[in-house]
Every structure is written in C-alpha cells, then in structure tokens.
C-alpha cells in the first residue's frame, strides 16, 4: 500500500450502531510519570524523566512531572470518575523508582502499598486493573550505570518485575512488560528528544536489544510468580508504514522503517530471531556482538496478548544520501535521527485533517495495522492499548468542555476496530489515551489528550463531552456516532 492508497471502509450508515463482543474490554490508559506526581514521597528516587524534565531546554517551558496531576493523592477521585463513566478497565504503569528506588535492592513497601491501594479501589469499583511494568521511567541510578545500552539493566528489570508480581499477582490479571520500547530506545538514545536525551545510534540499537531481553526475562519472572490464569503482554507502537509512491526505492524505504520500527521487536519476541535485513541495514554502525548466545531463546517467550498503540500512519520515501529530505516523522525535532540504518529515508505527513500534535487522522491505517498483524500472528489475540488525540480544548462559560473533534476521532478509530473484528481479527479490548490531561513528555502540559479536563493550576477534574460519549459506548458495548440517539 502507498500513501495515495487507503483501505476503503465498509459502506455502512454513519449513525448505525456497531455492537462489540460482550466480553470486550473497554478502558482508558495513563502512565506513572505523567500523572502521579509525589516525586519525592514514599522513598521514590529520581527517574530519567525527573532528570530530563529538570534539564533546561528539554521540556516545553520547563514543565516537570513533580506534581503532574497529583494522581498519587487524588486516585480515589479519578477512580470515582471512571466508575461514573462506566469504564470497565484501567491501564496504568508502575513507577520503577517508587517500588525499587535506584533500581537496586529490595522493594519498598510504601511504594508497593500505593499500588495495592490503587488496585484494591479499582476492584471495589468494578474496574479491571491492567498493569504496565515500564512506561519509560528508568531509575536515574541505572542510567548513570549505563542505562538500557548496558546488558545488566535487563536483569535489573526482571528482578523488579518479580517484586511487583509478588505484591499484586493475586489481584491483577492483565500484565504488560514494556510500553513502546521503540520510544525508549530510539527517542531516548537516538534522537534525544526523550529521556535520557542521548544521541548515539549504536547505543540506541544496544538499548533496543536489551529492552527485548528485559521483556523476555520479565515474562519468565512473571510466569514464575503469577497465577496460571494471568495474562502477559507487551505493548508496541508498531508503525503502519506506507511508501510515498509505488517505486521500488520508496518501497525499500518502507522496508527499512518496518525493520527498525516494527520487526526489531516482533522478530525476537514472537518469532525467535532478528530480521536479517535489519542486520544488513545497520552493518555500518555495529556488528551486533552485544547479542549473546541464548538471547533469542530468552526473548522468545509465549505471550497471551499483543497490545498495539496507534495514533497516525508513517509515510516515507527514498532520498539519495546528501539530498534534501523532510524529517516530518511526528516524533519531535532533533538534528539526530531515531532511525538508525535509514539515512536515505525521508518522512512525510499525509494530507488531510490533523490533531493538535500535527498528526494526520487516518483510522483506516489502524484497520490495516490490526489486519496485517493478525495475518502474521493469527493465534495471538490483540488489544488496542493506546489510541487517542490531542486537541485545543477550551472550557466554556458554564464550566463544561465540549470536544467534538476528539469524539469523532475515537468514533472513527473504534469503527476501524469493529471492522477488523467483523473481518475475523481477534481484538479483545480498547484503551483510550488518555484518562486525564497530563504531562505530555517533552510537550509538558501544552498538549491535552485526556477525556477528563484538568485545570493545571487547581487540578480540578472536569469530564469532557467525549468522556460522556465514550462512557456510554463502554457501558453498552454499542458504538454510536456522537450525537446519535
């Protein structure tokens, strides 16, 4: 498929309801550093995002997650809002440095107790907890020791996974090892737009391998500690890559991005080996000697779910070395590329409607991603673990926040999920990003993804109109267009 081609949506009346399976999981998602705050409470030590956000020039207007939206203290209110909306699940992440300060030594009970209280309150409200072990907040002391480019970090992560599983395994069923390891490796160590802000392509590739290894070792640790009915997953932001034109050169550009964006994870995690073309593409950078005998088996552990995060497609073309090339990949501005081995690849944004992030709106690409992934791994059920949009939300004179653009975005993407299910794809759930307006990484508090508005001065929560609409979808399992009776 090229950028000029799209998957034609099934012709169905816009206002007609689409009914999802009765056991479909409806939820919202967040991440610890983006919402918790309480950065210095309960024994928590700094993570790489504490350090990065406090480094001048790294985050919009010097914003930090020190307080974020204070979910650490306000979680009962946030759970009450979820319950009032009728949401059935909540995907959250655990702060590694809150549970195991510095990434070494025994677990801290104060940190684990916070997550015990959170999970207990979710269960009391009838909301299924979905736990992510790592959403980018590596303890700073582990980064000081080399971070993800160092092999030892993978072993540390497995130890931490065991601590959390021992504490919460009796009450959490759905576990995710890593969230978007592509961002951790290539935005954190390649382009430097995310913490820890390093710009070394070889370090980025080393980080990618050790994240893969950490995933495999963590799966092993979780299986040893969790009940037999627990579900173990990984959450990947797979890129729906499209060549700008049908030319052989543009198709090869798409192949390169598929290798370093997608198959660098899918290969070792699900198939037991890295793709050979990835090795060839990056041979001028590294001989991959950091991959040791036995690593493939350690990484390739059976999973119960594959979770996918999707926001926008990736459009690429070939540009000869030294030629003028746009780098509009939607992943922030940097002189350094997050795509090692793709020096002759240019990135383009598709025409049409865009969100406040500047990302093109293309729900057909989500359908394509789900169907393509299911075709390659038909026995593995899928979950959409993140999907959503930032818009310029404004509070009305009466205190309400009306966001029809977000509701339309989510409706279109849920329609794509439903089409995939009708066409035989085994999709088990959908988590809307995000529950709350929060700290949006390098964008600070400038971008709002939440279905619940947060006044960043008072921290007052106000459900937006999209929250009420999405709650009705979650309660009924029927997707109706916003405004439909």
Which of the residues are catalytic? 180, 386
User: Quick one: 87 exposed, middle or buried, by C-beta within 10 A (0-12, 13-18, 19+)?
Assistant: buried
Rounded to whole angstroms, the maximal C-alpha distance in the chain is 64
Instruction: From residue 59, give the alpha-carbon distance in Å to each of 49, 142, 152.
Output: 10, 22, 29
Q: Which two tokens stand for residue 198?
A: 């390093």
Identify the H or E element spanning 428.
strand 427-433
Q: Are 217 and 158 within 8 A, CB to CB?
A: yes
For 232, the 3-state DSSP assignment is strand
Q: Which two tokens stand for residue 407?
A: 């509701």
Q: Are 243 and 253 within 8 A, CB to CB?
A: yes
Q: Are 167 and 116 within 8 A, CB to CB?
A: yes
Q: Which residue has the tokens 């690409």?
A: 365
Q: Which of 221, 36, 222, 176 is nearest to 111 (CA)?
A: 36
Q: Which of 78, 58, 43 is nearest to 454 (CA)?
A: 78
Rounded to the nearest 10 degrees, what angle do helices 152-168 and 201-225 cross at?
30
Residue 267 DSSP code = I
Residue 37 DSSP code = -
DSSP secondary structure string, 138-187?
A: -BHHHHHTT-TTSTHHHHHHHHHHHHHHHHHTTT--EEEEEE-HHIIIII
């Amino acid at each position: 498929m090229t950028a000029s081609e799209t998957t034609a949506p099934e012709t169905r009346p816009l206002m007609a309801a689409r009914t999802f399976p009765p056991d479909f999981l409806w939820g919202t998602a967040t991440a610890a550093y983006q919402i918790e705050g309480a950065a210095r409470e309960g024994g928590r030590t700094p993570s790489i995002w504490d350090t990065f956000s406090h480094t001048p020039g790294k985050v919009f207007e010097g914003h930090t997650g020190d307080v974020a939206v204070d979910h650490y203290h306000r979680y009962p209110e946030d759970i009450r809002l979820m319950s009032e909306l009728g949401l059935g699940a909540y995907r959250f992440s655990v702060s590694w440095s809150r549970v195991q300060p510095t990434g070494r030594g025994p677990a801290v009970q104060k940190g684990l107790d916070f997550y015990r209280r959170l999970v207990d309150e979710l269960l009391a409200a009838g909301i299924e907890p979905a736990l992510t072990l790592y959403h980018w907040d590596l303890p700073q002391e582990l980064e000081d020791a080399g971070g993800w480019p160092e092999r030892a970090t993978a072993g540390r992560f497995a130890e931490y996974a065991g601590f959390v599983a021992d504490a919460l395994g009796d009450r959490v069923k759905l576990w995710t090892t890593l969230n978007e390891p592509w961002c951790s490796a290539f935005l954190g160590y390649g382009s430097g737009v995310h913490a820890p802000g390093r710009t070394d392509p070889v370090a980025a590739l080393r980080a990618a391998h050790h994240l893969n290894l950490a995933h495999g070792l963590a799966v092993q640790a979780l299986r040893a500690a969790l009940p037999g009915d627990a579900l173990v997953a990984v959450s990947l932001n797979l890129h729906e890559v499209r060549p700008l034109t049908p030319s052989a050169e543009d198709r090869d550009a798409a192949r390169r991005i598929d290798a370093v964006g997608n198959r660098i994870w899918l290969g070792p995690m699900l198939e037991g080996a890295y793709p050979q073309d990835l090795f060839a593409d990056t041979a001028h950078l590294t001989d991959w000697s950091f991959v040791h005998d036995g690593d493939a088996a350690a990484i390739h552990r059976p999973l119960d779910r594959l979770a996918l995060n999707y926001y926008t497609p990736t459009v690429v073309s070939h540009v000869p070395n030294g030629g003028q090339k746009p780098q509009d990949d939607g992943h922030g501005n940097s002189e350094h590329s997050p795509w090692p081995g793709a020096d002759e690849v240019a990135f383009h944004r598709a025409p049409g409607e865009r969100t406040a992030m500047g990302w093109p709106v293309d729900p057909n690409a989500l359908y394509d991603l789900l169907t393509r992934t299911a075709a390659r791994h038909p026995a593995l059920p899928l979950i959409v673990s993140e999907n959503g949009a930032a818009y310029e939300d404004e509070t009305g004179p009466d205190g309400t926040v009306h966001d029809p653009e977000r509701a339309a975005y989510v409706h279109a993407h849920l329609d794509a999920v439903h089409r995939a299910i009708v066409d035989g794809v085994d999709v088990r759930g959908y988590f809307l990003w995000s529950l709350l307006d929060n700290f949006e990484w390098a964008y600070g508090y400038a971008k709002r993804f939440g279905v619940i508005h947060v006044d960043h001065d008072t921290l007052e929560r106000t459900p937006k109109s999209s929250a009420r609409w999405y709650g009705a979808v979650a309660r009924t399992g029927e997707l109706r267009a916003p405004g439909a009776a």
